Amino acid sequence: MSKTIIITGGGRGIGRACAVLAAKRGWSVAFNYRSNKPAADALVAEIEALGGKAIGIQGDVSNEAETQALFAVARAAFGAIDGVIINAGIVAPGAQVADMSFERLQTMININVLGALLTAREAARALSTKRNGKGGAIVVMSSAAARLGSPGEYVDYAATKGAMDTMTIGLAKELGPEGVRVNAIRPGLIDTEIHASGGQPDRAFALGPTVPLGRPGQAEEVAAAAIWLLSDDASYVTGAVLDVTGGR
């Protein structure tokens, strides 16, 4: 069945892979991105070349008006929303907590936690059958860091992902009676540019051999799980936190 979905942080990496796979299913995709317009434009062009529909808008998930604008643009372009992937997230260069600046901690929490909660709020407003939505599904992009803790690297990031798991459990219970399923994915070491933004471009491949499956994951392997969770095939799955980690 055709759907309209929203993806935060859709321009690159895992969000991009989710957008392409959704488009291949015939779903319409609205996504936002922080600043990389060429990447976003390339994604829209790729989806349109597949015969799909996509719209990408610049917006910071930690900005209330900009996140609300994403939902308004999506609705105006494609009609009622069926699903939301709360995906946008950042890491910062590896450091011990004792050495982290106030600004770093504030930015981490603003984007990864406040941004996710704002997106979840808009998703609940758009999807809940109690609020004139038609029901649907939400997928939250957590991380294996939520259970590993990421000592010496980024405990701040790991803590924000712990918040994602808790948000998923609570929202699944809150929104289940309102026709909305809520699940999280914990990706492991996935080959995207997020590692470069944390100062370790080769991190996924350097640590890949330590993973039980012996390699890093690809964004498309995370997207497959996310699109399944949004699909009707996962109709009795809610409140789940799914590791996509190669066993890490």
Residue 5: which of 14, 193, 20 has the closest Cα?
20
Give the residue with the Cβ less far from ligand NAP, 61 or 128: 61
Q: How far is the CB of 157 from ligand NAP (least distance, A)?
A: 7
Q: Which residues of 199-229 are buried (b: 16+ CB within 10 A; e: fewer)?
A: ebeebbeeebeebeeeebbebebbbebbbbb
Residue 28's DSSP bridge partners are: 4
CB 139 within 8 A of CB 172: no
Residue 119 in the binding site for ligand NAP (CB under 6 A): no
39 binds ligand NAP per the rule CB under 6 A: yes
The verdict on 183 binding ligand NAP (CB under 6 A) reads no
What part of residues 42-61 is at the interface with ligand NAP (CB under 6 A)? 59-61
Dihedral sign for Cα atoms in the order 142, 76, 237, 12: negative
Both tokens assigned to 226: 């996310």
Q: Is 13 in the site for ligand NAP (CB under 6 A)?
A: yes
Residue 101 binds to ligand NAP (criterion: CB under 6 A) = no
Work out which of 3, 6, 9, 128 binds ligand NAP, going by CB under 6 A: 9
Q: Which stretch binds ligand NAP (CB under 6 A): 33-41, 97-105, 129-137, 229-237?
A: 33-41
In the sheet where 241-244 sits, what is the strand order?
54-58, 28-33, 4-7, 83-86, 136-141, 180-187, 241-244
Q: How many CB atoms lie within 10 A of CB 183?
A: 24
Q: Is 193 in the site for ligand NAP (CB under 6 A)?
A: yes
In the complex, minimum distance from the CB of residue 165 to ligand NAP, in angstroms, rounded to a whole number: 12
Residues interacting with ligand NAP, by CB under 6 A?
A: 8-9, 11-15, 32-36, 39, 59-62, 87-90, 111, 115, 141, 143, 187, 189-190, 192-194, 197, 204
